[in-house]
């Protein structure tokens, strides 16, 4: 797999490059995000972006990159700064890891993202696997979701996002379609919030939010809800 590593910090680049290469990944790295435009090709599988101290120029670079690609995007950011984590997720990051880095966790999350990307296929899951999915039932009046025997309270917006995904019965739904269904055309300014709501739903519904099995990212297509709604 080919990973694009964007970091201004030379020791960080060297450490992460060597760690990824030990796992057999090819790493393209650069000191500055703006200098890597010429390096990007269609065979990049994942972007690892070092936000460092979350300065305004770094945020601007992150925004430019996230608008330019729908590749899996993992952010490395400041320690003990929840605002940076929330903002990164709002801007479209798929994952956020604070410093100090636990390299084993980072590598495990990269492997998980790449594994899901390799497994992507637009076709419906095979019938023999259907029984392994969790059954999801929505309670519109209580704004709750029932997953097998577990009930979870949702906010109104979280409920709308989940409801929209449920309508498609496992088929991928584009971000644009979800935004239109949840917020409507008159509120397209909330577009950057979608990924944050997906993240909140995963925190509430998934057994392991860092390795989601219910709300799946379909790279280049959007999100799908994998469950048994019969």
What is the spatial distance between Cα 45 and Cα 48, in angstroms, rounded to a whole number? 10
pLDDT for res 197? 86
Summarised one tens digit per residue, pLDDT across range 142-169 is 778 888 778 888 888 888 889 889 888 7
Domains of the chain, residue spans = 2-119, 131-225
Neighbours of 14 (CB within 10 A): 12
Tell me the backbone φ, ψ of residue 138, rounded to 5 degrees: -95, 140
- Specify the CATH architecture of the domain 131-225: Orthogonal Bundle (1.10)
pLDDT for res 123? 39
Is a pLDDT exceeding 60 seen at residue 219?
Answer: yes
Summarised one tens digit per residue, pLDDT across range 17-73 is 888 888 788 888 765 555 455 445 446 778 888 888 888 888 888 887 776 666 788
Neighbours of 82 (CB within 10 A): 9
**Tokens representing residue 199 in the block:** 């993240």
What is the spatial distance between Cα 17 and Cα 172, in angstroms, rounded to a whole number? 33
Collect all residues with Cβ–Cβ distance below 8 Å to 93 and sequence separation of at least 6.
49, 62, 66, 73, 74, 75, 195
CATH class of 2-119: alpha beta
pLDDT for res 196? 82
Cα 22 to Cα 15, 150, 212, distances in angstroms: 11, 41, 26
Start-to-end CA span in the chain (Å):
37
Q: Decide which of 214 and 131 is more confident.
A: 214
Summarised one tens digit per residue, pLDDT across range 100-149 is 878 888 888 887 776 665 554 333 433 333 344 557 888 777 778 888 77
Give me the percent of the chain exceeding a pLDDT of 90. 1
What is the spatial distance between Cα 127 and Cα 94, in angstroms, rounded to a whole number? 29
pLDDT for res 107? 82
Summarised one tens digit per residue, pLDDT across range 160-194 is 889 889 888 778 888 888 888 887 765 554 556 78
What is the spatial distance between Cα 170 and Cα 157, in angstroms, rounded to a whole number? 20
What is the spatial distance between Cα 213 and Cα 209, in angstroms, rounded to a whole number? 8
Tell me the backbone φ, ψ of residue 44, rounded to 5 degrees: -70, 135
131-225 shares the fold of 2-119: no
- CB of 87 within 8 A of CB of 66? no
What is the spatial distance between Cα 215 and Cα 165, in angstroms, rounded to a whole number? 9
pLDDT for res 41? 45
pLDDT for res 186? 58
pLDDT for res 133? 52
- 3 state SS for 170-192: CCCECHHHHHHHHHCHHHHHHHH
pLDDT for res 185? 62
Q: List strand residue ranges (DSSP E) for the chain, in order.
A: 2-6, 26-30, 46-50, 73-77, 95-98, 136-139, 144-147, 150-153, 215-218, 222-225
């Amino acid at each position: 797999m080919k990973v694009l590593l964007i970091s201004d910090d030379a020791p960080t680049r060297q450490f992460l490059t060597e760690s990824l290469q030990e796992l057999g990944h090819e790493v393209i790295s650069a000191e500055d995000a703006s200098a890597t435009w010429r390096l990007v090709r269609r065979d990049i599988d994942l972007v690892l972006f070092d936000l460092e101290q979350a300065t305004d120029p770094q945020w601007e670079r992150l925004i430019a990159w996230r608008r330019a690609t729908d590749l899996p995007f993992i952010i490395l950011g400041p320690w003990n700064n929840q605002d940076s984590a929330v903002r990164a997720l709002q801007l479209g990051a798929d994952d956020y890891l604070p410093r100090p880095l636990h390299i084993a966790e980072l590598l495990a999350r990269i492997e998980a993202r790449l594994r899901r990307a390799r497994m992507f296929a637009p076709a419906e899951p095979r019938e023999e696997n259907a029984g392994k999915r969790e059954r999801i039932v929505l309670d519109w009046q209580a704004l709750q979701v029932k997953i097998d025997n577990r009930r979870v309270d949702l906010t109104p917006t979280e409920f709308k996002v989940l409801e929209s995904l449920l309508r498609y019965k496992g088929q991928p739904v584009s971000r644009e379609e979800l935004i239109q269904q949840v917020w409507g055309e008159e509120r397209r300014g909330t577009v950057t919030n979608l990924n944050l709501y997906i993240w909140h739903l995963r925190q509430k519904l998934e057994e392991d939010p860092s390795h989601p099995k219910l709300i799946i990212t379909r790279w280049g297509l959007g999100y799908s809800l994998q469950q048994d709604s019969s």
